[in-house]
Structure 1
């Protein structure tokens, strides 16, 4: 299992790199001012950082309980990324709606594009993170 400090390093580095990528792209794609997209991205990042820590902690405990190891196959990585993003989507929907002045349907569309970006980003980031900082409790499965 990963240590608390390792999980914090993972969550913070994930969010900082994600912000650097998604803020200019979101502003360009939707035509919102950079400040508005930047602000909602920072708010989302703070929420996502907390969610990231809690979700990964619970996911690793579930893997350890069910499989006896925290090693992840590609299928488990896809499940991990999808479940993480769906949970975050539900948490952030009312925040996006309020901050950007959008209805829930419009907010859902904007947030869905962010979620699709982060779905791929989560998969790639966690795979790379596990390679650079291996889990001391298990080998990387694939």
Structure 2
């Protein structure tokens, strides 16, 4: 299992590398100034992190109240993921549209492209991270 320090390193590297790719890449793809996409990238990452904390806390409290447990079946995980992403879209789309002075439809399409980027990036980043920083093998327990 990863240590607290390793998890902090993972989170910081994940965001730093993502923003280093996202900001210039999205400026080119979306035809927006680098500064504007920097603001969008940093604000989106911050909002997503805060939303992740608040949503998961609320979701677990709701599960405990409604089901008496926070155990998540596969179906509940799917619902959890869809609700998280829907909430993030509701939070980000108006802000992106307002900041870039674009329509809500354009902001939604931009956000969908960003989601696709982060899905692929997250997968590749985690593969690389696991190779560069492998988890130490657990010590054998004494019999």
Q: Structure 2 length as normaliser, TM-score?
A: 0.63
- Structure 1: give runs of 5+ residues left out of the alignment: 56-64, 67-78
Q: Which whole-Å deviations, capped at 9, do the CAs of 1:15-57 have from their partners, x for residues lacking one?
A: 10011111111111111111111111111222344567889xx
In the other structure, the counterpart of 1:96 is: 96
Tell me if 1:2 matches 2:2.
Answer: yes
Query: Which structure is richer in relative contact order (CA contacts within 8 A, separation 6 or more)?
Result: 1
Pairwise CA distance, 1:8: 1.5
Higher alpha-carbon deviation: 88-97 or 119-128: 88-97
Bigger drift between 113-122 and 129-138 goes to 129-138
Conservation of the 8 A alpha-carbon contact between 1:36 and 1:100:
yes
Q: What displacement does 1:97 show?
A: 2.5
Larger Rg: 2
CA contact (8 A) 1:89 1:112 kept: no
CA change 1:17–1:110 in 2 (3 A) is same
Pairs aligned (count): 119
Q: Is the 8 A contact 2:48 2:88 kept in 1?
A: no
Q: TM-score, normalised by structure 1?
A: 0.63
Other structure's SS at 1:2 match: coil
**After superposition, where does 1:1-142 map in structure 2 within 5 Å?**
1-50=1-50, 83=81, 87=85, 89-90=88-89, 91-135=91-135
Equivalent residue of 2:32, what SS? coil
Unmatched 5+ stretches in structure 2: 56-70, 139-143
Contact kept in structure 2, 1:97 and 1:104, CA below 8 Å:
yes
